[in-house]
Amino acid sequence: MNESLSESLIRPARRGDSEAIAALMVETTSEQVRRITILGSPYLARFVADELAGNKNDEYVTCTVREQVVGMCAWRHTDTALHLNYISVEPERRGQGLGIALMLDGLRRIHRTSQRMFSVDVFSDTPRAHAWYRSLSLRSERRTKWIELPLSLTQPGNGHDCTVSGLDEADLNHFRYGFSQFTLTTNSATYRVGRLGQNLFRVGTSAILQDTAALQGLVHLDPERELVCSGSDGDANILSFAHSSLIAESERLVSSGASVMEHLELSLSKRHLNQTIPIRL
């Protein structure tokens, strides 16, 4: 009998698990991905603890062996899909079926009736993870390129052609977590702008690259920061913007939840891991 499976337990995460959860989340990501996401924050465990205390955003689940957290996953609900936001298992316990068990638990217990689809985002610097998800029948829905550019090279301006809201709350969050988000509005569009550490702004649309007022507004707020921007694989703004550098690529993979569950169960049977890990609610 597999020792990890025989002594393991899957349960909803508790606030006291936050340090272990954060460590697992960071361990499975590259330095570059940590730099452009919240995973690079030294206060990530504090954020996870507050998420758990307030039942916000993601639904965290842990896998424990003899009361020690050795694996975790975080699920995010949308109207039609159950999205796997994070999953991680201690390196020395990989290949023992714990990750499969965590995914099956989510698909069986956490998914809602309306959520017929399963989705996950995978960065290109994790080819083994990408191959694993592909083996579960997932297909590509979209590819995303991430670029970085120095705002100091954008056209100068006074920053008065835009408005910023939510900055006071963002400042409080930034002090507590090391990252935050505020809203920037111009005559052209409204943007949710993230701040990561002391060095980066991050925006999830390439449209901002053509909005001079928005770029000038960011420079006015903090001229020392650079901008990380993401857009679709064929986005002309992403491909052609001057002075930008391609720093990462990711892909959204999707499939029906039923199909993924079938492939996971088959994978367990091929490994002769038919033992069910108990779940404590």
| CB 241, CB 155: distance < 8 Å | no
Kindly report, residue by residue over 259-275, the tens digit of the pLDDT.
Answer: 999 999 888 777 655 55
Q: Give mean pLDDT, residues 231-245.
A: 73
| CB 248, CB 124: distance < 8 Å | yes
Burial class (CB within 10 angstroms; exposed 0-12, middle 13-18, buried 19+) of 255? buried
Burial class (CB within 10 angstroms; exposed 0-12, middle 13-18, buried 19+) of 53? exposed
Beta partners for residue 60, in sequence order = 74
Beta partners for residue 249, in sequence order = 145
Lowest mean pLDDT among 18-27, 35-44, 237-246: 237-246
Kindly report, residue by residue over 70-85, the tens digit of the pLDDT.
Answer: 999 999 999 899 999 9
Q: What are phi and psi of 42, to 5 degrees?
A: -70, -10
For 78, the token pair is 């949308």
More confident residue, 7 or 168: 168
pTM for this prediction: 0.90
Average pLDDT, the chain: 89
Kindly report, residue by residue over 103-151, the tens digit of the pLDDT.
Answer: 999 999 888 888 899 999 999 999 999 999 999 999 999 999 999 999 8
Q: How far apart are CA 241 and CA 80, in angstroms?
A: 34
**Which pLDDT score, from 0 to 100, does residue 161 have?**
86
